[in-house]
Amino acid sequence: MSPSRSLGATGFALIAVCYGFARFAFGLFLPRIGADMPLSSTLVGLISGGAFLTYCVAVILSAWLTERVGARYVALGAALIAAVGMAGIALATSPAWLAGAVMLAGSSTGLVSPPLAAAVAAAVPPDRQNATNTLINAGTGAGVALSGPVALLLGELWRYAFAGFALAALGLAFAVALILPRALPATTTTSQGMPALDGALRRLILAACLAGAASTAIWSFGGQLVALRLNWGSTGAGLLWTAIGAAGIAGAGAGHLIARFGINPVHRAALAAMAASILLIGIDGTSAALTLAGGLLFGAAYIMLTGIYLLWGVSALPDRPATGVTLAFLALAIGQTAGAPGFGWLMDRLTATAAVIAFACLALTAGLARAEASRAP
């Protein structure tokens, strides 16, 4: 296998473990964990807020470290932190221990993407970098697709499931140490600091914030919406999550689509698909078939959008790819943090239908931000 393919496969698997297992799996297992351990709604909310905080700190720290110690060590750290955090979940004996372990495991998602982008820039031929980056990014879909069936099959044995996840992360740590280049930049970056937020970066931040906010209609409220519209329980929510994850693998095609049609048309098409998926899942009168179709559409659209913002960030800062990815993903996370309470407020003050329509429209507004043609990947 060529070095670029080895890097792509390793990065894909590492993203799958960090996002699918270390971050998203906890929500799928939460009903069973709550049956074995007293978890108040307040504590669950604190865990969610803490996970966002650790993600933001980790993604900023990741770019800083990648530009100083290299991609291999930062990606290795992400794999080991995911392993330790998920082992902590498996061994948790108290709610406080569990909360700390969940936040530690989730922080791996903030660490993992910047060093992988830097490794691709250092080790992959320029004509294959976009395709490799979007392939790696699509690992999120694979991880979510795998965690859904595992949660359905091993719900009561959640400790064994997280122990297995931890072993997978530990195994990937060895692969990262062997395959990823150190990928230190050619010039020192200790004095570069925060890049100037020019037009391309400002538009990227705006688009990622709006898309991230719109995505919370499904990421944060998808289970509640299917329970409201279809009276689905945890099994139905697991099926929806599996559909989202399986289709998310299609997001690997973002690089090829951008090369053929350009970043702006692909960006607008993915946003339109996400808006349609929100309506299919959340609108009053939806059916099981439409909901699952919406899950497939959302998975493909969301992972494609994250791939678009990854490439947009790399192209906006070609000499500092880790920092470009950090800005894109930090903006996405900030949008998600603002979007979740906004959707909940609309549901409480108006109706679920009003919230769904508003957030579908919000997704479309992100298409008003355009990447500069000269900087499009």
Check whether residue 224 and residue 369 sit in a common domain.
Answer: yes
Check whether residue 358 and residue 218 sit in a common domain.
Answer: yes
Check whether residue 124 and residue 92 sit in a common domain.
Answer: yes
Domain final residue pick, 125, 148, 182: 182
**Can you give the pLDDT at residue 190?**
44
Q: Of 85-94, 156-165, 183-192, 235-244, give the lowest mean pLDDT range.
A: 183-192
| Residue type at 354 in one-letter notation | A
**Can you give the pLDDT at residue 376?**
39
Check whether residue 241 and residue 118 sit in a common domain.
Answer: no
| Residue type at 284 in one-letter notation | D
Whether 331 is covered by a domain: the verdict is yes
Check whether residue 18 and residue 102 sit in a common domain.
Answer: yes
Check whether residue 52 and residue 165 sit in a common domain.
Answer: yes
Check whether residue 172 and residue 214 sit in a common domain.
Answer: no
Domain final residue pick, 154, 182, 210: 182
Enclosing domain of residue 347: 198-377
Span 93-99, mean pLDDT?
A: 89
Tens digits of residue pLDDT in 16-32: 999 889 887 887 787 78
Whether 56 is covered by a domain: the verdict is yes
Check whether residue 236 and residue 352 sit in a common domain.
Answer: yes
Q: pTM, whole model, 2 decimals?
A: 0.83
The 3-class SS string of the chain reads CCHHHHHHHHHHHHHHHHHHHHHCHHHHHHHHHHHHCCCCHHHHHHHHHHHHHHHHHHHHHHHHHHHHHCHHHHHHHHHHHHHHHHHHHHHCCCHHHHHHHHHHHHHHHHHHHHHHHHHHHHHCCHHHHHHHHHHHHCHHHHHHHHHHHHHHHCHHHHHHHHHHHHHHHHHHHHHHHHHCCCCCCCCCCCCCCCCCCCHHHHHHHHHHHHHHHHHHHHHCCHHHHHHHHHCCCHHHHHHHHHHHHHHHHHHHHHHHHHHHHCHHHHHHHHHHHHHHHHHHHHCCCCCHHHHHHHHHHHHHHHHHHHHHHHHHHHHHCCCCHHHHHHHHHHHHHHHHHHHHHHHHHHHHHCCHHHHHHHHHHHHHHHHHCCCCHHHCC
**Can you give the pLDDT at residue 130?**
85
Check whether residue 235 and residue 135 sit in a common domain.
Answer: no
**At residue 375, does pLDDT exceed 60?**
no
Residue pointed to by tokens 């919230």: 355
**At residue 315, does pLDDT exceed 90?**
no
Give how many domains the chain has, as a whole number.
Answer: 2
Tens digits of residue pLDDT in 234-274: 677 778 888 998 898 888 888 888 888 989 999 999 999 99
**At residue 341, does pLDDT exceed 90?**
no
Check whether residue 24 and residue 87 sit in a common domain.
Answer: yes
Span 95-112, mean pLDDT?
A: 91
CATH number, domain with residue 363: 1.20.1250.20
Whether 191 is covered by a domain: the verdict is no
Tens digits of residue pLDDT in 288-313: 999 999 999 999 999 999 999 998 98
Banded model confidence at residue 167, pLDDT cuts 50, 70, 90: very high
**Can you give the pLDDT at residue 205?**
93
Residue 330 token pair: 């930090």
Banded model confidence at residue 189, pLDDT cuts 50, 70, 90: very low
